[in-house]
Amino acid sequence: MSKEGKKVKESLNKLESIVDWFDKQEDIDLEEGLEKVRVGAEIIKDLKTKLKGLQNKFKEIKEDLGENEEN
């Protein structure tokens, strides 16, 4: 797995642990819950950036393949 792929997987695992934390809580401490939401939002923002970068890499590869097929 590529370094970028590992980072995405780690971020997704962190998000999953946050969701699990909320699922396990009977009485949620508002301050702790708010902090978890804030961290989750940061992870999502970072993932969007990473995924956009990966999408651009796939586009470049596809374009390179298209150019090679024409030659």
Domain boundaries, the chain: 3-70
CA dist list (Å): 38 to 4, 16, 42: 23, 14, 6
Residue 35 in this model has a pLDDT that exceeds 90: yes
Task: Give residue 70's pLDDT.
Answer: 59
Task: Give residue 24's pLDDT.
Answer: 95
Tell me how far apart the alpha carbons of residues 57 and 54 are, in angstroms, rounded to a whole number: 5
Higher pLDDT among residues 8 and 41, named by residue: 41
Average pLDDT, the chain: 90
pTM of the model: 0.75
